[in-house]
Amino acid sequence: MSMSMRFCFAWWTRQAQVAETVDVIIRNGNAPDLPGMEWEGKYSRYRRLYKLAMDEARAGRRIILVAEVAGQIIGQIIIHLNRADPTATGYLYAFRVRPEWRNRGIGARLIQEAEAALIRRGYRRALIAVAMNNPGARRLYERMGYSHFAQDAGEWSFIDDHGLLQRVVEPSWLMERSLPG
Amino acid identity, position 167: R
User: For residue 66, how far is the Cα from the chain centroid?
Assistant: 8
Binding segment (CB under 6 A) for ligand COA, from list 32-40, 57-65, 130-138, 155-163? 130-138
Strand partners, 116: none
Q: Return the number of other C-beta atoms located less than 10 Å from residue 123's C-beta.
A: 21
Distance between CA atoms of 39 and 136, rounded to whole angstroms?
A: 21
Using CB under 6 A as the binding rule, whether residue 154 contacts ligand COA is answered as no
Smallest gap, in angstroms, from Cβ of residue 163 to ligand COA?
25
- Provide the mask over 4-43, with x wherever binding to ligand COA is found by CB under 6 A and - wherever it is not: ----------------------------------------
Residues of span 39-98 touching ligand COA by CB under 6 A: 95-97
- Left, alpha or beta for 48 (phi > 0: left; psi -120 to 50: alpha)? alpha
> Residue 7: beta bridge partners?
24
Footprint of ligand COA on residues 131-150 (CB under 6 A)?
Answer: 134, 136-137, 139-140
Q: Look up residue 84 and give its amino acid.
A: A
Residue 112 contacts ligand COA per CB under 6 A: no
Binding residues for ligand COA (CB under 6 A): 95-97, 102-108, 130, 134, 136-137, 139-140
